[in-house]
Amino acid sequence: MRAGKLRTRVFIDEPVPTQNATGELVMTWATKPKVWARFDPLSGREVALMAAQGVSMTITKITVRWSVALSGITSSWRLRCGSTFYNIKSVVNTNNANRELVLLCESGANTG
């Protein structure tokens, strides 16, 4: 992978169950070290949510350099770029070579 194609710094968050003050398990996010990423939007679509209001959803292919900190990444994790959250839908370790990860992500509705 050529480093010049990875131009955007992003955070990747892992969900971590934590007990709150009343002993309930709540989901919090543990932030992994920042990584460089390349964004390739794949498609856009309109979906209807609550009272037929249209909300724009985008599927994006995001490529990041593999690191030990990301070795356990799954589709329950999320990616943040600025104020935009991306739900990870699929994780591919290209050629199983531990060089790069291709993440298919969805941004738009209910991604916070």
What's the rounded Cα separation, in Å, for the pair 36 and 5?
9
Here the tokens at position 29 are: 């996010």
**What whole-number percentage of the chain has pLDDT above 70?**
79
CATH 2.40.10.270 correct for 3-107: yes
Share of the chain above pLDDT 90, in %: 51
Report d(CA 103, CA 78) in Å as an integer: 10
Q: Is the pLDDT of residue 52 over 60?
A: no
Mean confidence (pLDDT) of the chain? 82
Eight-class DSSP state of 112: -
Q: How confident is the model at residue 86 (pLDDT cuts 50, 70, 90)?
A: very high
pLDDT at residue 50 tops 80: no
Supply 92's token pair. 């591919």
Residue 109 has pLDDT above 50, yes or no: yes
- How much is the pLDDT for 45? 57
Which distant-in-sequence residues (6+ apart) come within 8 Å of 67 by Cβ?
33, 35
Which tens digits make up the pLDDT trace of 29-47?
Answer: 999 989 999 998 876 554 4
More confident call, 54 vs 76: 76
